[in-house]
């Protein structure tokens, strides 16, 4: 089994542990697809952006402390200030946190989910999903919630949505991919319901981030599909809409 299939199996294990605690099937299930030993971008390599994003979140919080909250006031999602043209708040609010516990929870979530998603999506697509989800979450919060808001949870929910779509898209490559996508959706639903019952939780930001992550991943991919070559070897072709739009196809 090539590196991509191995990464997919590791991803399934990671998310099963995170969401359901189940294990993989037998070796025959994991070996059911043989691929040419060519690495699609994003199937291996360092988790560069995960570490950068963690450092940015921690650094921003230290800057908040150093400025005695002035940075928080400058960058939080505050609707009436956004109405006055301070649109940067839709992005900066995702790198600020209300307190140390808020920061730790979000950094822990990013630390656990980020590396796997960065390897599966590739560095550029991972960053696009994270930032797109952050802005989408802040934007939905802006339209549907008048309360000030900060935190990376919208972006993290976007990674969760991205993972669900990834598993669903690649159900033919990953054992129980569709089932794992359904498990993720159920866990997200539980979190949204619990968030509705806890004061101070920006559920609109979570929902917006989730939808943003799904939308960006749907458009940018990856959407790997097996293709049999004339020499009898099977390769993966990325059928993401972005490649159809620009008239090219990406192969692995």
What one-character-per-residue DSSP string does 152-210 give? SHHHHHHHHHHHHHHHHHTTTTSTTHHHHHHHHHHHHHHHHHHHHHSTT--HHHHHHHH
The 3-state DSSP composition of the chain as helix, strand, coil percent (nearest 5) reads: 65, 5, 30
**Catalytic: 43?**
no
Alpha carbon distance 6, 234 (integer Å): 16
pLDDT band of 250, cuts 50, 70, 90:
low
Please say if the pLDDT value at position 53 is more than 70. yes
Chain centroid to Cα 79, Å, comes to: 26
Q: For the chain, what percent of residues have pLDDT higher than 70?
A: 78
> Per the residue annotation, which of 14, 139, 153, 162 is the catalytic one?
153
Please say if the pLDDT value at position 160 is more than 70. yes
Which of 164, 161, 171 is closest to 136 using CA atoms? 161
More confident residue, 140 or 232: 140
**Catalytic: 147?**
no
Average pLDDT over residues 81-106: 96
What 3-state class would DSSP assign to 250?
A: strand
Please say if the pLDDT value at position 60 is more than 60. yes
Please say if the pLDDT value at position 127 is more than 90. yes
pLDDT, residue 13, reads 46
Alpha carbon distance 77, 154 (integer Å): 12
pLDDT, residue 188, reads 79
E strand segments, the chain: 224-228, 234-238, 250-251
pLDDT band of 99, cuts 50, 70, 90:
very high
Task: Compute the residue count for the chain.
Answer: 252
Q: For the chain, what percent of residues have pLDDT higher than 90?
A: 53
- List the CATH code of the domain at 3-251: 1.20.1540.10
pLDDT band of 248, cuts 50, 70, 90:
low
Q: Which two tokens stand for residue 5?
A: 């299939």
φ/ψ of residue 236, rounded to 5: -110, 135
Alpha carbon distance 192, 201 (integer Å): 9
**How big is the chain by its Cα radius of gyration, in Å?**
19
């Amino acid at each position: 089994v090539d590196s991509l299939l191995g990464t997919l199996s590791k991803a399934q294990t990671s998310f099963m542990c995170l969401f359901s605690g189940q294990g993989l099937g037998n070796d025959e299930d994991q070996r059911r697809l043989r691929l040419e030993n060519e690495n699609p971008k994003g199937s291996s390599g360092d988790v560069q952006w995960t570490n950068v994003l963690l450092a940015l979140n921690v650094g921003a919080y230290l800057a908040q402390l150093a400025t005695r909250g002035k940075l928080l006031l400058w960058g939080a999602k505050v609707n009436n200030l956004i109405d006055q043209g301070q649109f940067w708040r839709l992005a900066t609010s995702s790198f600020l946190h209300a307190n140390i516990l808020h920061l730790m929870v979000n950094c822990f979530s990013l630390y656990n989910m980020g590396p796997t998603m960065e390897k599966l999506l590739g560095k550029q697509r991972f960053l696009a999903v994270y930032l797109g989800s952050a802005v989408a979450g802040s934007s939905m919060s802006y339209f549907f919630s008048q309360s000030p808001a900060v935190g990376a949870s919208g972006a993290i929910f976007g990674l969760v949505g991205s993972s669900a779509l990834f598993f669903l898209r690649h159900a033919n490559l990953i054992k129980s991919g569709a089932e794992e996508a359904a498990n993720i959706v159920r866990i997200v639903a539980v979190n949204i319901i619990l968030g509705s019952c806890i004061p101070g939780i920006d559920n609109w930001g979570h929902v917006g981030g989730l939808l943003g992550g799904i939308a960006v991943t749907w458009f940018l991919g990856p959407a790997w599909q097996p293709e049999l070559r004339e020499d009898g070897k099977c390769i993966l072709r990325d059928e993401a809409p972005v490649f159809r739009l620009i008239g090219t196809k990406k192969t692995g």
